[in-house]
């Protein structure tokens, strides 16, 4: 807790750099947009302005984002402390799988957050932030709405990326096998679409597709992992 508070205070003091990263997807200069434009050969300039309608909202958002950034920075240290506390209670044969599960779980969670920041959220925000039913209807997106959707999708995608780790653990204890996962693949697609529809904050088909595709690929990746575990 102390390390998180100290890290959060440091992040709070670097407000400009912190929010330059957090707010980067609202402009066409964001690195992901430039990469998409190079691949497609089409460049579309845009910048979505954010507004604030509450007196203390900007300060509260600043505090929340700084706290979360601080937590992310110290998370490896926090996980190390927690594991060091739990490790003495594990048998020798349990420690190596536990280390693998913890490290892999952390890496996969951060990969999910990174995928959301660089791909899923930018595509979602660009589509919805610039979409207009008529030129006379101007989008006015609040800062709190922007931050809430970004954080929600980051947490959700981080948790979804734990699927391979969970599948590996279940395979280790003999509760899951690749053959069963392959047989129910068609049902898994339906479940993936349902889960994507539930966790999608906007409900539009574009965001639904962008969220559902990585989840399905994770399912296929989990089958490969489980198959290797069963072979061993």
Total domain count for the chain?
Answer: 2
Residues 124 and 170 in one domain: no
Residues 61 and 170 in one domain: no
pLDDT tens track for 166-210: 999 888 888 888 888 999 999 999 998 888 887 775 666 777 887
Question: Half-sphere exposure (CA, 13 Å, Cβ side) for 200?
Answer: 24
Helix (H, G, I), strand (E, B) or coil at 46: coil
Please name which of 225, 232, 197 lies closest in space to residue 211, comparing C-alpha atoms.
197
Give me the pLDDT at residue 23, please. Answer: 96
Quick one: DSSP state of residue 27? B
Give me the pLDDT at residue 37, please. Answer: 85
Q: Which two tokens stand for residue 115?
A: 């995928």
- Percent share of the chain, pLDDT over 90: 46
Cβ atoms of residues 165 and 101 within 8 Å: yes
pLDDT tens track for 52-81: 999 999 999 999 999 999 999 999 998 888
pLDDT greater than 90 at residue 14: yes
Helix (H, G, I), strand (E, B) or coil at 56: coil
Range of the domain at 203: 162-232
Other Cβ atoms less than 10 A from the Cβ of 187: the count is 9
Note whether residue 152 is domain-resident.
Answer: no
Q: Which two tokens stand for residue 186?
A: 């068609």
Residues 177 and 85 in one domain: no
Residues 30 and 127 in one domain: yes
Note whether residue 156 is domain-resident.
Answer: no
């Amino acid at each position: 807790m102390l390390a998180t508070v100290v890290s959060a205070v440091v992040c709070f003091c670097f407000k400009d750099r912190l929010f330059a990263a957090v707010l980067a997807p609202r402009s066409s200069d964001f690195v992901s947009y430039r990469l998409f434009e190079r691949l497609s050969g089409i460049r579309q300039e845009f910048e979505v302005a954010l507004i604030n309608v509450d007196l203390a909202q900007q300060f509260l958002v600043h505090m929340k984002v700084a706290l979360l950034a601080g937590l992310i920075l110290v998370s490896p240290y926090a996980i190390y402390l927690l594991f060091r506390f739990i490790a003495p209670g594990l048998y020798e044969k349990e420690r190596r799988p536990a280390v693998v599960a913890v490290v892999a779980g952390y890496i996969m969670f951060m990969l999910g957050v990174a995928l959301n920041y660089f791909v899923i959220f930018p595509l979602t925000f660009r589509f919805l932030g610039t979409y207009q039913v008529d030129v006379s209807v101007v989008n006015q997106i609040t800062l709190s709405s922007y931050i809430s959707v970004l954080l929600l999708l980051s947490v959700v995608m981080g948790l979804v990326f734990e699927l391979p780790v969970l599948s590996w653990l279940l395979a280790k204890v003999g509760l899951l096998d690749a053959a069963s996962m392959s047989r129910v693949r068609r049902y898994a697609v339906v479940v993936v679409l349902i889960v994507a529809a539930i966790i999608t904050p906007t409900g539009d088909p574009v965001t639904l597709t962008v969220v559902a595709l990585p989840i399905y690929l994770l399912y296929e990746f989990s089958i490969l992992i489980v198959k290797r575990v069963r072979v061993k």
